[in-house]
Amino acid sequence: MRHVYWIGGGSGAGKSTIARRLADRHGWRLYATDDVMVDHARRTTAEEAPFLHAFMAMDMDERWVGRSPETMLETFHWFRGEAFDLIIEDLARLPAGTPVVVEGFRLLPHLVEPLLPGPGHAVWLLPTPEFRRFAFTSRATPEGGFTRRTGDPARAEHNVAVRDALFTERLREETARLGLPAITVDGSMTADELAGRVGDVFRL
């Protein structure tokens, strides 16, 4: 997959923004893994993706209120790489003549690393907890997010924030262990500067 470039990382790091900028700037195709989650869930069986199907069977409080952030981290299907093979199937169907930038938190370093043709094809954006909080606050709508559909939105928001911080630290450790590029996102760079850093990693 020499024509594929990967931008993984934690929630709120700006993956979508940077991927769109690079796709627009260079005429690349954009593949957002968030956009295909519902389709991928439909394409799996409980045997193939047990954590995903267990999650689908839960109500909102079971998902986000009644479990510890640590349990949420360990049992969240996308964090375990379930249905990652469907991302590969989708990419294999795309024309190989046009570069593709793939973005999303589902891009776990240990799953992407074997697919890399060499350096310069993948990077992970790692938000600090403060930047993640700022990013989600700036995106907020009057209706609120999915946590508003729980019986205890404040606890749900806390659980998700702690879970996501734990996930980001896991990504930090895994990218370091595998020798893969990672960029800490703390608000000290503008979106253009961050896009430039990612472009440097991709040797553009």
3 state SS of 177: helix
Q: What is the pTM of this model?
A: 0.93
- pLDDT (tens, 9 = 90+) of the chain, 204 residues, equals 899 999 999 988 999 999 999 999 999 999 999 999 999 999 999 999 999 999 999 999 999 999 999 999 999 999 999 999 999 999 999 988 899 999 999 999 999 999 999 889 999 999 998 888 877 676 655 556 889 999 999 999 999 999 999 999 999 999 999 999 999 999 999 999 999 999 999 999
Query: What DSSP assignment string belongs to 115-160?
Result: G--SSSSEEEEEE-HHHHHHHHHHH--TT--GGGGSS-HHHHHHHH
